[in-house]
Structure 1
């Protein structure tokens, strides 16, 4: 009876345990569970001193109030003077002169976004200091300290200097003004354009907090397949309202600009970049934008690709188009991000077109233009070789584009940790300037001495309560920010950071989930596109396998274009005997792929059309290896299911059940991929699926007739 009354009392007092719905993502700030560590934290942070009064200082104060109260389970006072055992958060010029003198030299090599975490003794007081040259730097340092505390690390002897390696650390939202998200699998857009600018959803602030905590400093609000409407004044006022929320967190807003806007909203008869009226129109539009949004970041442009308007419509080059907008933005410090994702149905190999169109333009773009290059030459496949363009434009700053939204990686239902994919790309040696010319050294500016640098990711965020639909989708968002800050971080380090903050610090939970995450991308490649297969997904929606598809309006939308399976073998010959796309790489990288007998098996079918009987490094024939890989992928998902089940007692019921159900979908899909692909390729190769592998559950015709007219994101 007493137990029942206690439960009733707790309920009536409003102290129900809150469900773990994932909304707080990695900023959960759960109470510190280790008594000794809790005591140490309480002793070290007895008060907070934040002398500044900027909006960013207010954001810092609010974050610390929330985080420290929750983690330390007691209130922490904010004082007007520095007290013993204080946490001091201030840009360097707001500190007392003696502290400035003591710490100033330590910031010499820190940029405007960098920070210093330092434990010091000052005037007989033990202090924990977060300082920087700017308020935003202090904000980043604050999140760094809170990350350490969430990970239950000691903070009694801090001495950390950190600056971002990349200047631009961006998200690209493919959100339409209707709130529909192209290639979005987490609900509709978080931007409620209809109620803006008057109604400001508190979620915008939480979006800013999450991004700032991982160093993201810019967001493109709208789809690259842009509507010119967003550049009209009523919509710019809506953008300004979002910008006002994001500004204290160091996040600038950018817009995807439709190249034909002068015609569609400007009443001009042309959008020719060399036309004086067009140039004047863009100059006036930039002036208007900056009068409304003084810190506007600039434009992202998709032009002359997939039907989008662009300068080639007028016989002009991509450089002509980009420079038109760059000139309009230059007086205000704005930039242009010009996408290199271009292809047309006449191309002999879609792989080659971006390189062919953009390399002749190297050095012709103005200084405030970056060419935005996808990580691979096709389209965000589960595994791609790097885009050859990344090593071919030394005079042009390049903005590396990844895709967080899992368009080709299982969409919103598969657990696929993308940091290993990002690292695989960043660590690839391009040989652009001899050995050790990694992709990371190109995009961070070191190799070619560029100061305008960046990494961007197509966002996987929607209005689902937990932001990304799949709880583990948050890890990809987190990984992008952390790697854009420091590309040298390992996938394992980032995964464990995220796990500790998201699921807690139980060693069994950390090790189990870490193992699942680190294996997940390779598992997904195995059950979808092993050995260099690519773009064999369903047409349009890109959901599920369709290697047989060959009826699209243009050949390069069809899987058969990419795998070229026939009675002899399979794979796309990109050597000198085929499309010769391999010639676009530097010799050092080219030779790694040139010979089918020594080519990395992971990329074999990207570059070679080889016999079904081709001998693989494993000793198996290509056909047997293909069967092995598909089955290994299914087994990998089975293993993830068991690993997740093993930590059930340590995971909150809400998220445990959600991930369990999603892993069930992933397992079904992996079997579907295996059975459909092996059925089809078996019919082409005229080879049976060897024992002991299971036979497909249905005949090939069953898989071929499946339709998904309402698949999300299409």
Structure 2
């Protein structure tokens, strides 16, 4: 009996310990750990002795609750709520609600922010010092509250604090590719967090924590369902379920959106057509919009994937994307709703280069979309590759609001098995120059509306969130969610700043941890490019699930689904000729780019094989052949992962056991798969190059037939409707 008690006690301690570690992953970057530096702690407490909130709305209650929670964590004591302002009060309230005697010290500052912006300012009323968090709206106060918490987490001084900040992009939206059966297309962190079967009655605490996390980084919208849409979500039963989520998210400033399946009038409305110019169809969508807004007054609008990869759309009826988008925009316009119309289109019936097709379909319609339509464009012209040049549409539709679409989940970058810091990729794209209005016409300026004076702006991120205890499966996957939100708020932030913030908020403020891990994060995306798709190679992943290498695949029903379509390897060389002698996709870019990239000698080597088909013995800038550089770069990627493992092993003392061991095991997987990529790709291309590997690159462990025989039918993230 005593032995059983000892076992039970040991199991209990194990469970409690495990739950404690799991909680750290669950809390994401909102880990309000005790500030152990006593001097720093005393300074904070000297400046903040109580909380005074002007207003009692759900949003202000959420803000004050967050402060109370954080204060308890940082200082292990409750922050006193006050009924009147006293010295060293922390004061929350909108411009409209703050007492008149506080406003003179803030009046000039309000001009520096927009309706979602905030001010955090140390002021004095007579001899009474205060810290005020305010804004023109309640959600601005909420954002300011989270920013104040971040300042404390980063151990920044607050005794003379002054921050005026506001989002530069209006619609900052997560796109969930979640299906109603709770599978998640291209999701690698478990099932959908939306428990549709038990909604609207069962409200899980995760829903509020999801809202808190998003609000903390300024995300203000969420598309709940997959772009490969089910019309069922537009039915009355599901609208009630969506309402339950909208009610939870509303205090945190988050609007809900739904994907609209273009054929819904046939499937739900018993109509004979979904023709966007048919009066009955237009009325059906107007009535459906009215129905949704009657239940969810702040519903954001619709996201649409039309006439792409088998999805229905206006082209089915001989109509254009403008006809379809404007019909839906007309339906939601009376309610201030928007339509996000995806430009991800390509067809097996179009013999042209897939990289050109979206441009060809959308650019002729520039300026014809309604004012409440955002054309949502992927960052590159193919499909979320480890590296792509920016999408040429960003430099070609000055009269249309364009919305950036990034993928936070890692469909082509090792799923949630590989450590890849995506803000580095996002930053690279946003900093690219389109030259549409001369030098300095960056993609970021197109997206934030400043280049073409656009009022409606947006950035979308395909979410990497699931039911995993830590939300994203890979602990470092959280950094990509965090980084997306920060760049959607300010597309000019550096990935270095984002990495440093996240590391300090999530793990440790100790520079002995932060500096080496920051460098590792910033290098991680380049490492993946090296061992997967170096020198401009792209879309050579295995078929369907996109897990692992598959450059040999050539038997799919559509030519542009086959990796051989993209690398075009033969005995003469490798690469896709997109110059005037090939598909001439370069023509879609402004002249400084098209001229520079037209010659392999002046093309950046990171895009070399994207734009050129070159001989295996082509001499590159370092004097070595293309084949040698290709092999060496794959090997460099493997060596980079080895270095990542070594760095992480040195960080053990700074990280809790569960997260340390999880990342260690995932890095083992990443190293194994980096070698797999190197060996499989080089084995395949070597049969064309007929050249020896450099001495520093090991011979593949297996022959090519072995790598071609590998099969992964249950790789995660596949849409079950494909099977």
TM-score interval (norm. to shorter): over 0.9
Structure 1 distance, partners of 2:439, 2:15, is 68
Matches of residues 291-330 of structure 1 in structure 2 within 5 Å? Answer: 291-330=294-333
Contact residue 21 and residue 465 of structure 1 kept, 8 A: no
Q: Which moved more, 1:504-513 or 1:187-196?
A: 504-513
Distance 1:76 1:704, change over 3 A: same
Specify every segment of 5 or more residues in structure 1 that has no aligned partner in the other structure, as ranges.
1-6
Structure 2 distance, partners of 1:19, 1:238, is 29
Q: RMSD of the alignment, in Å?
A: 1.6
Structure 1 distance, partners of 2:518, 2:105, is 41
SS of corresponding position for 2:114: coil
Distance 1:47 1:444, change over 3 A: same
Matches of residues 493-512 of structure 1 in structure 2 within 5 Å? Answer: 493-512=497-516
Structure 2 distance, partners of 1:113, 1:599, is 42
1:40 counterpart (29, 40, 43)? 43
Structure 2 distance, partners of 1:448, 1:301, is 24
Q: In the alignment, what sits opposite 2:245?
A: 242
2:402 counterpart (393, 398, 401)? 398
Distance 1:68 1:10, change over 3 A: farther
**Deviations for 1:343-366, whole angstroms, at most 9, x for unmatched residues?**
011332100000000011111101
**Deviations for 1:94-135, whole angstroms, at most 9, x for unmatched residues?**
111111122122102311100001011113211111010111
Contact residue 371 and residue 397 of structure 1 kept, 8 A: yes
Structure 2 distance, partners of 1:248, 1:618, is 57
Distance 1:12 1:658, change over 3 A: closer
* Matching of residue 86 in structure 1 with residue 89 in structure 2: yes
2:370 counterpart (363, 366, 370)? 366
1:65 counterpart (46, 65, 68)? 68
Distance 1:19 1:230, change over 3 A: closer
Q: In the alignment, what sits opposite 2:619?
A: 615
Q: In the alignment, what sits opposite 1:286?
A: 289
Give the deviation of 1:15 after TM superposition: 13
Matches of residues 201-600 of structure 1 in structure 2 within 5 Å? Answer: 201-347=204-350, 348-600=352-604
Q: In the alignment, what sits opposite 2:156?
A: 153
**Deviations for 1:642-692, whole angstroms, at most 9, x for unmatched residues?**
000011112111100000000000000000000000011001111121212
Give the deviation of 1:523 after TM superposition: 0.4
* Matching of residue 682 in structure 1 with residue 677 in structure 2: no
2:670 counterpart (645, 666, 670)? 666
Q: Which moved more, 1:484-493 or 1:370-379?
A: 484-493
Specify every segment of 5 or more residues in structure 2 that has no aligned partner in the other structure, as ranges.
1-9, 719-723
Distance 1:686 1:135, change over 3 A: same
Q: In the alignment, what sits opposite 2:714?
A: 710
SS of corresponding position for 2:269: coil
Distance 1:144 1:12, change over 3 A: closer
SS of corresponding position for 1:120: strand
**Deviations for 1:172-210, whole angstroms, at most 9, x for unmatched residues?**
000000000000000000000000000001100000000
SS of corresponding position for 2:525: helix
Contact residue 20 and residue 654 of structure 1 kept, 8 A: no
Distance 1:657 1:18, change over 3 A: closer
Structure 2 distance, partners of 1:300, 1:14, is 43
Structure 2 distance, partners of 1:450, 1:90, is 30
SS of corresponding position for 1:415: coil
Structure 2 distance, partners of 1:276, 1:562, is 43
Q: Which moved more, 1:524-533 or 1:105-114?
A: 105-114
SS of corresponding position for 2:461: strand
Matches of residues 624-703 of structure 1 in structure 2 within 5 Å? Answer: 624-703=628-707
Structure 2 distance, partners of 1:8, 1:235, is 42
Normalising by structure 2, report the TM-score: 0.96
SS of corresponding position for 1:280: helix
Give the deviation of 1:592 after TM superposition: 2.5
Contact residue 24 and residue 31 of structure 2 kept, 8 A: no
Q: In the alignment, what sits opposite 2:721?
A: none
Distance 1:20 1:643, change over 3 A: farther
Give the deviation of 1:452 after TM superposition: 0.2
* Matching of residue 127 in structure 1 with residue 130 in structure 2: yes
Q: In the alignment, what sits opposite 2:5?
A: none
Structure 2 distance, partners of 1:527, 1:380, is 17
SS of corresponding position for 2:636: helix
Give the deviation of 1:617 after TM superposition: 1.3
Distance 1:187 1:584, change over 3 A: same
**Deviations for 1:10-45, whole angstroms, at most 9, x for unmatched residues?**
999999965554000000100001110011111111
Distance 1:118 1:346, change over 3 A: same
Contact residue 51 and residue 80 of structure 1 kept, 8 A: no
Contact residue 430 and residue 588 of structure 1 kept, 8 A: no
SS of corresponding position for 1:131: strand
Structure 1 distance, partners of 2:152, 2:547, is 40
Contact residue 21 and residue 654 of structure 1 kept, 8 A: no
